[in-house]
Structure 1
Amino acid sequence: MGFQAGFDTSHYPGDSQMAWLKANTNLTWCGFYLAPAPSHGDTGWMNTRATLVAQGWGLAPVYLGQQTAGPGSHIITAAQGSLDGANAAQLAGQAGFAQGSYVYLDVEDGSAPTAASQAYIKAWAQALAQQGYSVGIYCSHVIAANLFSLLQTLELNATPRIWAYKVSTTATHAYTGSIATFPTPDPAGSGYVSASIWQREQNCTLSLPGAPVTAMTVDLNTAGVGDWSG
């Protein structure tokens, strides 16, 4: 099975920057932030799907819902999970993602999920699935197996997918590899053997001579072919 390089960044880089990246690197897919979401108000990605598909990008829609720690909103209840799951489905449809597409709930906290956060995640997943979308979770590799097992207790319309992060540093740092050929290791290297996507670097600054914007800070990922959305 082949693997493909991707990236995510919370703010939309711009049409010309995305076209340059597609033409000059081996990046083939990217995260797509659904908004306004409880912990992500920037709607910059929302009207870009048609342009990005025309450029040849694969897209992984991400929803930043309630967070247990750090920045963002912190209403961790089952009732809020139902509201947020329905909201994620509505935003995915608004952005142009067909039913059946995977939408990833962003779980930033890598510590063991509490009873309240488990209830929130389950309610979010059920509400999303009821609207015809498939459930994905972005989370630490440390809790990936736990959350996958949690989702398996639900009657969902497709096998859940895990986008696992395992990185050596979260500090902003310069990327020193080739921008033409980003590595594409097996997502199993994330530490969660069944991961569909591995976020393997966070906050790395790319030097992009000749690009409309010559430096940009992104997270780097690798995924199985087609494992980001459809």
Structure 2
Amino acid sequence: MAYKGFDIDIYPGDTAMANFWNNTPFSFTGFYLGPAPNHSDTTWMNTKSYLESLGYGFLVIYVGQQAGDTSYLTYAQGQNDAANAASLASQAGFNTEYDVIYLDIEQGGSLNQDFIDYIDGWIDYIVDSTIYMPGIYCSYETADQIKNSSSNAGNLSNIRYWVFNINEPPSPGCTTNTSDSPSDSGVSYASSWQYIQECVQEWNGTTLTVDLDLSNYSNPSAG
């Protein structure tokens, strides 16, 4: 069984989140840690208790350095940013051992070695120096390169992959995915799949533009 969820970068408010929970297909939501290097917004940070009370699971997201941040794409910076991600996760109330934090990698296609070094540093620090587990959000085209090039190469028990592979264009009333598995994303080991971006959804009188996700877990950041 696959579970459906959504993500939106700015917290839309308590009423909107309640309306997107009650009698909807959604089991989880993205949860952005901030301020992060490429996500300065902090509106999600104090919402965990309320969202848990509704029943939501989470995809905890850290938007670190991106392809254009060339002077910061180093192993050492990856370690520093992982420490920051762990601190923000703790501040937000994610304090259970093996909770998963997903490092957001926006670039599709092939990554240069500097970016791989940065990702390796981030993964190593999360695994070796925190209570958390690493997750990677990336393109389905990029997942194999990250998995095979990282210092945790092949260690799927320590890394969860949430991939984006967009099968439908943005449009009002985007249909929800009928797939049974994130592996249908094109990445056999993916545990979560973002399959539509910028999709207009209306539930219980609230309209939001969200990305739609599918996961093997009702709470994809639970260890």
Determine if the TM-score, normalized by the shorter chain, exceeds 0.5: yes
Aligned to 1:102: 100
Residue 24 of structure 1 and its aligned partner are, at CA, apart by 2.7
Aligned to 1:201: 196
SS at match of 1:22: coil
Residue 219 of structure 1 and its aligned partner are, at CA, apart by 0.3
Aligned to 1:174: 172
- Aligned residues of 1:34 and 1:45 also touching (Cα < 8 A): yes
SS at match of 1:126: helix
- Aligned residues of 1:172 and 1:202 also touching (Cα < 8 A): yes
Aligned to 1:92: 89
Residue 16 of structure 1 and its aligned partner are, at CA, apart by 1.2
Q: Distance in 1 between matches of 2:79 and 2:156?
A: 16
Residues 57 and 23 from structure 1, CA distance in 2 versus in 1: closer, same or farther, beyond 3 angstroms?
Answer: same
Residue 60 of structure 1 and its aligned partner are, at CA, apart by 1.2
Residues 74 and 197 from structure 1, CA distance in 2 versus in 1: closer, same or farther, beyond 3 angstroms?
Answer: farther
Aligned to 2:215: 223
- Aligned residues of 2:174 and 2:200 also touching (Cα < 8 A): no
1:133-191, Cα deviation, whole Å (9 max, x unpaired): 1010000001112212234636989521100100036x6421243xxx76453101110
Any unmatched runs of 5+ in structure 1? none
1:54-91, Cα deviation, whole Å (9 max, x unpaired): 1000011000000004xx89621122111100000000
Q: How many residues align?
A: 220
Percent identity, aligned pairs only, is 36
Moved segments of 4+, more than 4 Å? 154-158
Query: Are positions 1:192 and 2:187 aligned together?
Result: yes
Residue 226 of structure 1 and its aligned partner are, at CA, apart by 4.1
Residues 198 and 155 from structure 1, CA distance in 2 versus in 1: closer, same or farther, beyond 3 angstroms?
Answer: closer
Letter in 2 for 1:136: G
Residues 154 and 88 from structure 1, CA distance in 2 versus in 1: closer, same or farther, beyond 3 angstroms?
Answer: farther
Task: Kindly report which structure 2 residues correspond to 1:117-196, keeping only aligned pairs within 5 A, or say none.
Answer: 117-129=115-127, 130-151=129-150, 153=152, 158-168=157-167, 172-177=170-175, 183=178, 185-196=180-191
Residues 144 and 9 from structure 1, CA distance in 2 versus in 1: closer, same or farther, beyond 3 angstroms?
Answer: same
Any unmatched runs of 5+ in structure 2? none
Residue 26 of structure 1 and its aligned partner are, at CA, apart by 1.1
Q: Distance in 2 between matches of 1:122 and 1:138?
A: 14
Q: TM-score, normalised by structure 2?
A: 0.91
Residue 99 of structure 1 and its aligned partner are, at CA, apart by 2.8
